[in-house]
Amino acid sequence: MPTMRFNHMEMTFPKGTITDDFYADLESFYGGLFGWGVKKTKVLKLDATLLLPDDGQFILLAEADKHMSSPGLDHLGLLMETREEVDEMLDRCQRFQEKDDRCQIHNFKDLVTPPLVTRAFYVKYLLPIWFDVQVIEREGPGPAKRWTYA
């Protein structure tokens, strides 16, 4: 089977949503807390915004007549290296939430499915989906990292 990895996702918003203030808020949260690039761009002659988590990965934000709606816990998973990194990101998000109540957080108890333990929280800010920030720890010996990039 060929190797496949996440490349991009497009999220659509009602027309008039992606204003300069909205863009600045994206930069503050996704740029400042997550460390992602935030960049204005054009796609098919339309103004759009890119969130750039990693080289070769992006989330395209665009306005459309028919736009995305996700009223449930639909999410995109973000895998971190350690429990401490997840807890630090949760702390940063909680501090951000104190200043901006549009930031929503669900903090979960560890999910234990031996030999794995998942530490996770969900965060949602301005976008129509949640981000599941997590680490998957292995109890006992196990394989090293499985990702390989050439």
Distance, in Å, from the CA atom of 24 to the CA atom of 98, rounded to the nearest integer, reads 18
Work out the average pLDDT over 114-122.
Answer: 96
The predicted pLDDT at position 38 comes to: 98
Domain limits of the chain? 1-68, 70-150
- Is residue 96 classed as helix, strand or coil in its secondary structure? helix
Distances (CA, A) of 135 to 62, 79, 126: 30, 6, 24
Q: Closest by alpha carbon to 30, among 108, 107, 106, 100? A: 100
Structural domain 1-68, CATH architecture: Roll (3.10)
Question: Considering Cα of 24, then 29, then 33, then 37, what sign does the dihedral take?
Answer: negative
In the chain, pLDDT over 70 holds for what percent of residues?
93
The predicted pLDDT at position 4 comes to: 79
pLDDT-derived band at 1, boundaries 50, 70, 90: confident
Q: Closest by alpha carbon to 119, among 110, 127, 130, 128? A: 110
Q: Which amino acid is it at 67? A: H
pLDDT in tens, 50-98: 999 988 899 999 999 999 999 999 999 999 999 999 999 999 999 999 9
Work out the average pLDDT over 131-138.
Answer: 96
The predicted pLDDT at position 2 comes to: 84
